[in-house]
Amino acid sequence: MRIRMVLVSTLAVLALAFGGVLQVSAQDGSLADAGYPELTVTLTDEGVEGLPEETEAGWHLVNFTNDITPSGDPFEDSWGLDFVLIPEGMTIDDIAAAFAGPPPGEGEGPGAASPEPMEGMDMGSPAADAAPSDPFAFLYETYLPGGPGALQGETTQAAIYLEPGEYAVLAFGFGAPATLTVTGEGDAASAEESGVTADATIVETGESGTFDFEVASLPEGEAVIEIVNESNQPHFIFALRSDVPLTEEEVQTLLTEEAPPEGEDATPVTASPEAGGPGGPPIAPAFITGTQSADTTQYVSVDLEPGYYVLLCFVGDPEQGGIPHAFEGMIEIVPAGAAEATPAG
């Protein structure tokens, strides 16, 4: 299926594009060996379940299981887990209302998001005018430590740092959020000092209009990736894998390519892992990170086959009319294993 169709259908719940996601299976690597207190979370058709009422501030290992009822489309059935520090003056009900899905009976599948917020939006160019009152503006000001994401039926892991406060824990746009109270003062010690060894580091850099990823290569096989946000806006990473090298120009073409109109020999949207469509490159989802604020670090466990990984961020840039960061150039093609680096272009 066309990449753009996938993104519109899975990220339609909000223009920030914080929505549905894909991830690899959790590994028994150094994250599990670090000795962090663990949070075990399950996403069901009702929402987020399994969290304790409270925990102490500091580093945590989050185990996330996606146990929603499958619809048959792995893109729509895959979700990310995010921790949102509830800002002063807001409540968990305010967060739930901001990310509420369609009324019962609307949409497709349990918790499906209505595509209407994205209708008419040209993802290849900035919106003409920013919304007069952005209901998601608080996400750019509050604390977002990241988190794991998972395919339906999969379990994944991420290590995140929880500051003190009250959090809404949710899959943006799916089901009800849970509340987690984080007590104490926390310990800002780095994860490395607690036993985590990262096999690769991805640094998110830049400012409005110039966001980028900095990473030379990714490891093959089971690994821990450190994700560092050194920019001034939140980011997550949506990673796709290709057997063949791609240029940034080719990725931009895939992202902006319009799907054939329905009823006119349109290519059906299927559960095929090849998202490039007929004649296109064989691109499949690989992994994702939860959304993280500026000046944060998180760690994710992955299991990577050799190939070329396309790193993308679809958080909207409020200073550029809401255009997703990927369309400002936040695209990086990174080799893993036997794959060789290719020039951007």
| pLDDT, tens digit (0-9, with 9 covering 90-100), for 264-282 | 443 322 223 344 444 556 7
Place of tokens 């918790």: 111
Q: Are 161 and 299 in contact (CB under 8 A)?
A: no
The pLDDT tens digits for 63-88 are 999 899 998 876 677 788 899 999 99
pLDDT value, residue 178 = 95
| Phi, psi for 332 (deg, rounded to 5) | -140, 130
- How many H-runs (helices) and E-runs (strands) does the chain carry? 4, 20
Of residues 192 and 183, more confidence is placed in 183
Mean pLDDT of the chain: 76
3-10 and 248-256 helices, crossing angle to 10°: 60
pLDDT value, residue 30 = 67
pLDDT value, residue 134 = 74
Altogether, the residues listed in the chain come to a count of 345
What is the average pLDDT across 252-271?
Answer: 52
pLDDT value, residue 73 = 75
The pLDDT tens digits for 152-170 are 888 889 999 999 999 999 9
Task: Examine the pLDDT at 38 and tell me if it is beyond 50.
Answer: yes
Of residues 340 and 92, more confidence is placed in 92
| Phi, psi for 243 (deg, rounded to 5) | -75, -25
pLDDT value, residue 151 = 76
Distances from the Cα of 2 to the Cαs of 127, 192, 260, 265, in angstroms? 22, 40, 9, 14
Report the sign of the C-alpha dihedral through residues 137, 291, 61, 100, in that order.
positive
Cα Rg for the chain, rounded, in angstroms? 19
Nearest to 299 by CA among 33, 14, 16: 33
Largest CA distance in the chain: 60
Dist. CA 8–CA 122, nearest whole Å: 10
103 token code pair: 């009324």
What is the average pLDDT across 271-295?
Answer: 67
Nearest to 84 by CA among 186, 171, 7, 189: 171
**Cα torsion through 154, 157, 160, 162, rounded to 10:** 60
